[in-house]
Amino acid sequence: MKHEGVPEDRLQLLTSITGAFRPGVLTALVGVSGAGKTTLMDVLAGRKTAGYIEGDIHIAGYPKKQQTFARISGYCEQNDIHSPQVTVHESLVYSAWLRLAADINPAFKSVCCCSSSSSCLTKIVTIIISSVHLFSNNFLFSRDGFLLQLE
């Protein structure tokens, strides 16, 4: 870039962006190649730490807090990495486990790393719902999500 006459060491990629995404509405984010679509999502999701992120991000008027936002958001990257030697079901269980607190009963954990027998599934189910409860107690009380539908 410097040979092409761009003297700066750092370039600003995103600035002054606002948008509204509504629940139950599928929103497309459209732009030309290099417009910063992926960069914007990386920054919003907090998944990437490369580069510099400065300034403020507000969600519904409140400053974005990464620990909170990571709890209520998901990010499907373009080339996600999956473990080749596990099954679809085990992938889901593993993902669920990574999102739970480190202090959860380890005996529970060992039970759940085995194959997908029905008794094991029951344990997995317990673990996942405890995570769902964690969310429902804090954020999802007013949303028409799974838990609300099931109840």
CB of 15 to another protein, least distance (A): 16
1 or 88, CB closer to another protein?
Answer: 88
7 or 106, CB closer to another protein?
Answer: 106
CB of 7 to another protein, least distance (A): 30
Query: What would you measure as the largest C-alpha separation in the chain, in angstroms?
Result: 65
Q: Calculate the alpha carbon distances from 59 to 17, 62, 68 in Å.
A: 12, 5, 11
Q: Are 98 and 113 in contact (CB under 8 A)?
A: no
12 or 67, CB closer to another protein?
Answer: 67
CB of 146 to another protein, least distance (A): 6
66 or 138, CB closer to another protein?
Answer: 138
CB of 2 to another protein, least distance (A): 28
Nearest to 112 by CA among 123, 102, 104: 123
- Output the six-digit token pair for 65: 């807090």
What does the chain come to in residues? 151
